[in-house]
Structure 1
Amino acid sequence: MEFVFVRHGQGEHTLDIPNSLHISDPSLTEEGINQAKALREQLPLSPTDVLICSPVRRTLETMEIWSKGIDCKKIVSPLVSPRMFPQIPEGKTLPCDKMLSEETIKADFPDFHLDEEAESEWWIKGINKMSEEEFNLRGKAFIKRCKLMGTRRIFIVSHDGTITSYRKFITGNEFTRGDFPKETGIVKVNF
């Protein structure tokens, strides 16, 4: 099975760092929209593909634009929501990384399915500040569920820290912030 991690397109929260990190619920910029459209040629989708994305507007918009016109399964899961990397126990979740409510997702993105197997507490807490030990437990269960979906590849639209955390967990390799994928960067992991 192949996991294809895709970082979301450029978001409004990246235009004036560090000030813009305090924007709540940032959307894609015009450049981010173009990056998401470019994914259609870089990574063409088929109806047998499964896409899973973070419950944050910029990832949802990236997945919506990329998958437009393709009748594949689209799932929103808090288990691929924003995650700090490396973990800072005293760190705080920034406004730009707060997850949308299930109700907002249903209203704004009606073609997407909510991850019903994710425990309700993760729809509230997310994985941003989860300890590495707990992340590894949740990650293992999440990957096992993905394998049971019976498809040859799963695309995960997420965030730089989350992608790097999963890469570390899956491969056992060490990574730094220097290994973060760029906007709409693609990372493939086979197992």
Structure 2
Amino acid sequence: MELIFIRHGQGEHTVNLPDSLQRANPSLTINGISQAERLKSSLPLTAKDVLIVSPTLRTLQTASIWSGNIACRKIVHPLLAPRIFPARMGAATLPCDELLDLERLQNEFGNFTAAANVAHSLWSKGINTLSEDEFSSLAEQFIGFCRNFKRGRIYLVTHDGTITSYRKTILGQAFTREDFLGETEWIQLVVE
């Protein structure tokens, strides 16, 4: 199975560091919107594809702009939520990495379906501060979820730390923050 991880477009939380990290639910910047538009030509979607997205405003905006009117399957899943990398015990989730609540998600992104059979705590707290062992176990569950899709490509719109955490888990290699993808960059991983 092939999973294509895409980092979201530039968000408002990255333009005036470190103060901007305190902004709750940051949107895409004008540059981030342009980056998401360019995904249409660099990674064109089809109706057979599956688009799985983190429950944050900037990832959902990226996925919405990119997918446009393509009738692909569109799912929001908390196992793609922001994740601190490398994991740090005792770390706290910053306001910019808080998840959208399910009501707002449904009201603003009604063409996306919330993943079913997911623990309520994941929808409220996400995966940001989980230990490596907790994340690895949930990553295996998420990969199992992805195996349910037999047609098309599987695209995952998420965050730099989350992508790097999945890369580490799937490939069994060491990574650092220098390995983070840039905005709307993507990487394809083959999962056995």
**Partner letter of residue 53 of structure 1?**
V
Partner of 2:161: 161
**Residue 131 (str. 1) matches residue 136 (str. 2):** no
Alpha-carbon distance change, 135 to 122 in structure 1, aligned in 2, over 3 angstroms: same
* CA contact 1:25–1:97 (8 Å) conserved in 2: yes
1:167-178 residue pairs with structure 2 within 5 A? 167-178=167-178
TM-score (norm 1): 0.98
- What code does the residue aligned with 1:104 have? R
- Measured against aligned partners, the alpha-carbon deviations of 1:137-189 in whole angstroms (never above 9, x if no partner) come to 11101101101211342100000000000010001011000000000010110
Tell me which residue corresponds to 1:18. Answer: 18
Measured on the aligned residues, the alpha-carbon RMSD in Å equals 0.8
Counterpart in 2 of 1:56?
56
Letter in 2 for 1:178: E
User: What are the ranges of 5 or more consecutive residues in structure 2 without an aligned counterpart?
Assistant: none
Unaligned stretches of 5+ residues in structure 1 = none
Q: Could you tell me which residue of structure 1 aligns to residue 80 of structure 2?
A: 80
Secondary structure of the residue aligned to 2:5 is strand
Alignment-derived partner of residue 180 in structure 1: 180
Distance in 1 between residues matched to 2:16 and 2:33, nearest whole Å: 18
Which residue type is aligned with residue 61 of structure 1? Q
Separation in 1, partners of 2:36, 2:166: 22
CA contact (8 A) 2:7 2:158 kept: yes
Runs of 4+ in 1 over 6 A off after TM superposition: none
**In the alignment, what sits opposite 2:121?**
121
